[in-house]
Structure 1
Amino acid sequence: MLEFRLLGPVELHRDGAGVHLGPPKRRTVLAMLLLADHALVTTDRLAEALWHEQPPKHAKTTIQGHISHLRRLLHPTGDATIVTAGDGYLLRTPADRIDARRFQAAVLETRLGHSTPASTVPALRQALALWHGPALAGLCTTPLIASLAAELEEARLNAVEVLGQALTTEHLAEEAVFLLRGPANRNPLRESLVAPLLDALLATDRQAEAIELYHRTARLLADELGVNPGPAMARAYARILAAPDAAPHTAAPVESPGPATDVLRPLLLPRSPAGFTGRERELAVLDDAVKPTRDAPLCLVTGPAGVGKSALVAHWAQHAATAFPDGVLFARLGGFAGTVPAADPASVLRDFLVALGTRPDDVPQNTATAESLYRALLRYRRVLVLLDDALSYDQVRPLLPGATGCATVVTSRNRLESLVAADCARPLLLDRLGPRQGAALLTGVLGSDRVDAEPGAVGCLVRLCDGLPLALRLTGARLAMRPERSLREAAEELYDERQRIALLAVDDVDLASVLRASVAHLPPAAADLLGLLAHHFGPDTDLGAVAALTAATPADARAALERLLAANLLEERAHGRYALHDLVRLFARTLGPVPGPERVLPLLDHYLCGALAASAVAVAGSQPCCRLPENAHPPAVTPVFTDRAEAMAWYARERQSLVAAVATATSAGHHHRAWRLAVLLWPLVVQQPEAEWEAPLGHALASAAELADADAESRVRTLLGWVLGEKGRLEEAARHLELAPDLARRAGDSEGEAIATANLAQVHERLGRVARAGQGYERAALLARDAGSPQTEMLTTYYLARHHLLNGRPSQALALARHGLGLAPEEQVPARRAMLTDLCGQALVALSRHGEAWEHFHRAGRLAEQDGFAADAAEYYARAAETRTPGRA
């Protein structure tokens, strides 16, 4: 049974298990069909959802491809069908299979006349339980999708409001407070949320909190909208004031519950950093984060070591302090000081209490009592609390004021996700400086004359320093003390990876010590992984590769990755890719010995198995071009591909790692893996022949020669010859391709001999050797037939038919192409069927049979779309458009 989910990430479940839907555009098409509620959705409406106002030229073709994929996903159960109607589509499925429809039905039921609070509570509890995140998450970010998501979110808030009021009526006010507080904090101007929350707070004996919430909301309404609270809030406020033991109507300072003296106005500002520049966006985020629009605003500034977190907050605090009339509290927690232990929160708490006016002898010895006194002193005050260089959530938690009027800013190299989850901290991830900001920082150290004189060298320095302000300041300091040196010379020194880390040091300040302090707090598994990733041959990696590299389970590998991410020592990119920045990578290489050749074997096998799986899907029905080596160990996580698009996307993501893996395998003496990895790149090579493939194929050829393996050498030379031919280097291509057929024959590989012979014939044809080309194509077709490989025979027959067509023999070309189409069942190898069908169309055009040609071009386009060859499909459709048929405009 199918279940569609729109109330959160858009998902499809079959019999309780998730079904992979593919890219965001495909999920967007599905969501649009589901939201239409059995109504027609035009292709123009779908294009608006996918691209807004700038759909590509072949938008309809792309939409048709996504519809085809969705139909295949829905087909097995028959619970849902997509119907083509006019210029659009509609999806038919029972309403109870869509969570948004079930939610809407439950909400509608509670609005009927016979509904009571007692029946509303369970109904809306179940309805809201259907939500599992922001509506329509993971779709295209177009205005239409944003509008549809906003409509669903509005319905959700309406349901929360109704349920909150019903809970209070049913004497479940504590649950109502829990339900309403978060949405009310996120929507502080929404009176329909605040009013039931006021009633719930009153019902739980929190009159003071309710009065404070009312006045805060009233101030916001006046400041932001220029209006007074509406009737619902006014009535709720009247009920609060009429209640027994209501709190005072206005907040006023109160006596401390402990033995403190008069509360002082502390001003413990950090030293303003000299030469601070840039960061305008981040400063604006900090300003916004501490606005009193929510309870106890809290901002977490996090980022890698040396990125300038402390400097940013110290600079910002100089002007931000004026918004906090009751003072500023600042503590350097020393979480990553390296040479001294991190600060004890109890000690910092004592300093804060003294700064607030408590006599030192009267500070409570019990930490919990000291926390209570600290929060009592701040309850009705506006104080800014700055906590710099925090190590953990436990170090920060006792120092949070918790008072509505106070704001807290925390800096940490760790992400402190508990602070976000438990205390609603707003995270500000501080990134490295870009070229312009980095140049501005160097200008502040060196002056504009030196920086402006060498703009190219400045860009190199910023890049070699990873955009880290600390590294740039250290480089600037070395240059400032050496006025005779050019910036280009400094860049050339840093370019040498062996000495770059050592050069980033001035006196007792050096980047290595700063990074060492971060690594010191890692658990052993994460520290080991950091060292291994530093020697990984690719630019980035994924979970499967990490599991192979560490010989760990996927769960353990993920835990180690998460720890490195939390410490900002690792960057997570799109598609679950992980990468080290250059300076971290170079430092991490110093943490242990270089892994030996055997350590890389599991990782090579990981890429080998992935490439084998991807190549099998790249052309449906094709045979694998090699097998795993006898001593290979399949990894714990091997990619699984459902269609060609997924396989090619994997190739694109892993391209650089696969190319580097070939070179690594050859240099490490793992020759059996090197040549296999290279030839398994063929689907990507065919798609991107213009790319630089000579280097990996050259490594593979060296490995094949080392093994004296005729099969390996024939395959590598065949692929290398084809690449060189596509680049127009025909004589070089011929030298490889003339050797390949005989090598394949010696290896007993008739199919490989056929492909090599066909590739050689193509080179002959492009060199003008028409007769030799024709003989080669004929021989290749015979070899493929003798090999008993219909797929290869289809390919060689296509080449032979094309040769006849190019040489003015359309009738022979048409007959051969039709023969090729009959070599395999219709459901197999759609891409090659598309090529042959297109060739039939070209031959029919040459024979002036335009009506038949038009049909063949359209059929070829549909076949190419079916197999994920969008560019080829567009070319076939273009040929159809150029073909004029009798009776057709």
Structure 2
Amino acid sequence: MITANPTAVSDPRDDVRFRVLGPVRVWRAGAELPLGPRQQRLVLAALLARAGRSVSLAELVALLWEGDPPRSAANAVHRYVGVLRRLLEPGLPARAHGRWLVRQGSGYLMQVGPNQLDLLAFRASLQRARAAATAGRAQEAVSCFGAALEQWQGRCAADLEAAVGDHPLFATLEFEYVAAVTEAADAALCSAAPPSVLQAVRQAARRHPLDERLQARLMLLLASDGRQAEALLMYRRVSTMLREELGVEPGAELRAAHECVLRGRAEYPRPSQAVAPTADTAVKTGAGITARPGPVREEERRTLPSAHPVPAQLPADLPCFTGREDAVRQALDLAGKTTGALPVLAIDGIPGVGKTALAVRVAHRVAPRFPDGQLFADLGGFTSSKGPLDPGAVLYGFLEALGLPRWRIPETTDARAALFRSVLATRRVLVVLDNALDVEQVRPLLPGASQCMVVITSRRRLNGLAAAFGARLTSLDVPSDREAIGCFFRRVGTGRPDADTDAVEEIVKLCGRLPLALSIVAARVLGRPDQPLSRTAAELAAAGEGLDGFSDDDRGNDLRAVFSSSYRTLGPDAARIFRLLPSYRTVEFSTRELAAAAGLPLQAATAVLGELVRSRLLTPVRNDRYGAHRLVLAYAAELDRGTLQRPVGVPRATARRAAEHVEEAHSGADSVRMMTAA
């Protein structure tokens, strides 16, 4: 525990001690420092609560003035910081950087370590406790949990509680404390040492009377310590409070603990994170309650509460998945890295190229590395008729899945994001975010802990994630001929009497190797077992350059619907150029050609092409050349013919003249090349 009077000072930095878990206090050379007025102490509390990470000026202003800052707010914050610097380092010259409180970016950072700040000392002891628990050293784990909890002398910034209220910066630390108390209780129950943490759990339960997880653990600890009657009275009191204040009955976890106490059995197994008993673990008996850490029968395990829910939200893996070996290998390599940064894999590609299938395959392969669960959300970036999902709504679902009662989930997206990061700070969870619209939609959904991992899919290349979080960006192309043929055979089965390679190769060619098109055709083949594959290939060929051969009963997987969801995101100029593409009778285009066809200045055309690339209806192929998948061009042709909707903007005759102009330009260029060669 950090104390005000260190016995030895080996480094000048160790001459200062900070406390934020309880009233905010600071000592220098053993003497407590006066911290000044309330707002100055609030600045210090925020910097200490962030524990070695910067707090932006905007965050400090919002904390101090609660959304109604004066014009001088920024200057006031700078003034408070200056006073705190000189308080910590007397004689520090004006405008000097200082060793403790430093400027970082647009905010400030308090440079402290576990020897100076109680919050970091708490986390260091907590880390040792978890390591001991994982290694099966139960008594050591309980001792380290106790050392961690001793750092808490009350709520974070307790002397400023009226000012900080439920501010996310401080509320997330309270949740971190509750999580640590919960783990300490589990370790004590498994090691038959309930008295060692009983007081800490009692205090936490008193601070959070409606937290059923804490109340359940306190009941079990009381019963294991021979206080069965007190545990039963406590259950009655908590049940009454839940009914009167929330109008709900006790949840499954609290009821299960009640059953344990009634049956006279207070063992508390944790199937996924149990603290294994050591050889010298004693068996404690009191009032008929046996707290033995030995094995528990499976039927008993199912009736007892777990430490926290372990969500398993991944969709089923595709049984016919094939290929993509390099992409899967890179993802597995990323999941195994221990760089200290959150591993983020962002997969982008054209509509229907198999981004979700790859993400789900990768997620299932790496899931064993994340024993605390897997979260999945379809963000509806391009395919939802209601528009992209609000990140706040996604966070609400994630927090519920992670075991938080609804009344503890904040109202705002920012507060939910902060709480989400705090919950995952002590867990190893895989988060899969499918069909993201952009970086802004994804940003609140990212954990802050490096032991987690995030897999994202989007039609857009999320460069901002690479810049801000070091994400690995993987652009997915259509599979090779070999992979596409193998995928189709796996879908329809190789045991078909007509499964000749020539027919499958023709089908793959007509599908442009696009996985979604292949899956639609394969589903049709499976629905017509008596129809030979050669006839399916002939039907696709007869459909010509349109998309009639790729219609699907599931309109969400219909190729037109999938391409339309990207087309709807385009502005007028980008949509007009997209409809002109089929007029070129080629699969590659240059900026100058498209600018001339659309009647746009070169700079404006460059911006429009960027929009088409971001929507993945065009793909850069080389310097100033863009390509489009043949089925994407087929969709554009249907738009231009008015099959789907009447085109607007440039008349069709203008498009034809533009195409003729481009053909002449190509012919002229060919003539020049021939003359040069001659």
TM-score (norm 2): 0.53
The residue that corresponds to 1:543 in the other structure is: 591
Q: In the alignment, what sits opposite 1:275?
A: 320
Q: Cα–Cα, structure 1 residues 255 and 571, in superposed 2: closer, same or farther, change >3 Å?
A: farther
| Correspondence for 1:507 among 528, 531, 553 | 553
Amino acid at match of 1:332: D
1:353-390 Cα offsets, whole Å, 9 max, x none, are: 11111111221122222222111111122111111111
Change (3 A) 1:555 1:173: farther
In 2, Cα distance between the equivalents of 1:414 and 1:500? Answer: 25
Q: CA deviation at 1:554?
A: 1.9
Equivalent of 1:518 in 566, 571, 574:
566
Q: 1:715 — aligned with what?
A: none
Report the counterpart of residue 343 of structure 1 in structure 2: 389
Q: Does 1:357 align with 2:403?
A: yes
Task: Note closer, same or farther for the CA distance 1:386–1:206 as it changes in structure 2 (3 Å cut).
Answer: farther
Seq. identity, %? 33
Given that 2:97 and 2:103 are in contact with CA atoms closer than 8 Å, whether structure 1 keeps it comes out as: no
1:290 alignment partner, SS class: helix
Q: Which amino acid aligns with 1:383?
A: V
1:484-511 Cα shifts (integer Å, max 9, x gaps): 4333332233234646411112312421
1:306 to 344, 352, 355: 352
Change (3 A) 1:207 1:273: same
Matches within 5 A, 1:88-107: none
Deviations 1:63-106 (A, max 9, x none): xxxxxxxxxxxxxxxxxxxxxxxxxxxxxxxxxxxxxxxxxxxx
| CA distances 1:457-478 after superposition (whole Å, capped 9, x unpaired) | 3222212212111100111122
Distance 1:496 1:203, change over 3 A: farther
The aligned residue for residue 239 of structure 1 is none
Cα deviation for residue 602 of structure 1 reads 5.3
Between Structure 1 and Structure 2, the one with more helix by share is 1
For 1:589, which of 628, 637, 642 is the aligned residue?
A: 637
Q: What does 1:73-472 correspond to in 2, within 5 Å?
A: 171=98, 208=120, 254=180, 262=213, 263-294=308-339, 295-450=341-496, 453-472=499-518
Amino acid at match of 1:535: S
**What SS does structure 2 have at the residue aligned with 1:429?**
strand
Q: Aligned AA for 1:683?
A: V
Say if 1:299 and 1:426, in contact at 8 Å, map to a contact too. Answer: yes
Contact 1:378-1:403 at 8 Å conserved across structures? yes
Partner of 2:672, secondary structure, is helix
Alpha-carbon distance in structure 2 between the residues aligned to 1:204 and 1:564: 53
After superposition, the C-alpha distances for 1:137-163 in whole angstroms (9 at most, x for unaligned) are xxxxxxxxxxxxxxxxxxxxxxxxxxx
TM-fit CA distance, 1:523:
2.2
Call closer, same or farther: CA 1:505–1:511 in 2, change over 3 Å.
same
Q: Structure 2: how far apart are the matches of 1:346 and 1:270?
A: 22
Kept after mapping to 2: 8 A contact 1:290/1:299: no
Offset of 1:416 from its aligned partner? 2.4
Shift of 1:515: 1.1
Deviation at 1:688, TM superposition (A): 6.3
Q: CA deviation at 1:535?
A: 2.2
Contact 1:470–1:511 (CA under 8 A) maintained in structure 2: yes
Q: Could you tell me how far 1:198 is from its partner in structure 2?
A: 13
8 A contact 2:574–2:608 mirrored in 1: yes
Structure-2 change in CA distance of 1:177 and 1:200 (3 Å): farther
Q: How much does 1:452 deviate? A: 7.9
Which among 666, 681, 697 is matched to residue 670 of structure 2?
A: 681
TM-score by length of 1: 0.41
Q: Is the 8 A contact 1:324 1:382 kept in 2?
A: yes
Paired residue for 2:145?
A: none
- 8 Å CA contact 2:580–2:640 kept in 1: the answer is no
How do residues 655-804 of structure 1 correspond to structure 2 at under 5 angstroms?
A: 661-662=663-664, 678=667, 681-686=670-675
Q: Cα–Cα, structure 1 residues 452 and 372, in superposed 2: closer, same or farther, change >3 Å?
A: same
Q: Is the 8 A contact 2:546 2:635 kept in 1?
A: no
Query: Secondary structure, in 3 states, of the residue corresponding to 2:377?
Result: strand
Q: Which amino acid aligns with 2:635?
A: F
Amino acid at match of 2:522: G
Contact 2:345 2:456 in 1 (8 A): yes
* C-alpha distance 458-687 of structure 1, shift in aligned 2 (>3 A): farther
Q: Distance in 1 between matches of 2:536 and 2:101?
A: 64
Q: Which residue of 2 aligns with 1:570?
A: 618
Other-structure match for 1:495: 541
What CA deviation, in whole Å up to 9, does each residue of 1:498-550 have, x standing for no partner? Answer: 46411112312421111111212222222222111232233311111121121
Q: Residues 601 and 504 (structure 1 numbering): CA distance in 2 closer, same or farther, change over 3 Å?
A: closer
Instruction: Give the aligned residue type for 2:336.
Output: K
Alpha-carbon distance change, 264 to 483 in structure 1, aligned in 2, over 3 angstroms: closer
Match of 1:483 in 2: 529
Contact residue 584 and residue 659 of structure 2 kept, 8 A? no
**Whole-angstrom distance in 1 between the partners of 2:180 and 2:582:** 57
The aligned length equals 407
Cα RMSD (Å) of the superposition?
3.9
Distance 2:668 2:531 in 1: 49
Aligned to 1:90: none
Specify the SS of the correspondent of 2:483.
Answer: helix
Give the C-alpha shift of residue 286 in structure 1.
1.4
Distance, in Å, in 1 between the alignment partners of 2:659 and 2:364 is 51
Q: Give the letter aligned to residue 376 of structure 1.
A: S
- Gaps in structure 1 of 5+ consecutive residues: 1-168, 179-196, 220-243, 246-250, 608-660, 663-673, 690-889
The one-letter code sitting in structure 2 at the alignment partner of 1:254 is: A
Q: Which amino acid aligns with 1:299?
A: L
Q: Deviations over 1:108-154 (max 9, x none)?
A: xxxxxxxxxxxxxxxxxxxxxxxxxxxxxxxxxxxxxxxxxxxxxxx
Contact 2:100–2:110 (8 Å) recurs in 1: no
Q: Using the TM superposition, give the Cα deviation of residue 445 of structure 1 relative to its aligned residue in structure 2, in angstroms.
A: 2.1
Structure 2 residue aligned with 1:869: none
Whole-angstrom distance in 2 between the partners of 1:603 and 1:277: 40
SS in 2 for 1:546: helix
Residue by residue over 1:800-841, the C-alpha shift from the partner in whole angstroms, topping out at 9 and shown as x without a partner, is xxxxxxxxxxxxxxxxxxxxxxxxxxxxxxxxxxxxxxxxxx
For 2:345, what is the secondary structure of its paired residue?
A: strand
Alignment partner, residue 654 of structure 2? 598
Q: 1:478 to 1:417 in 2, by over 3 A?
A: same
1:579 aligned residue: 627
How far apart, in 2, do the equivalents of 1:560 and 1:318 lie? 38
Look up the equivalent residue of 2:532 and give its one-letter code: S
- Structure with greater contact order relative to length (CA < 8 Å, sep ≥ 6): 2
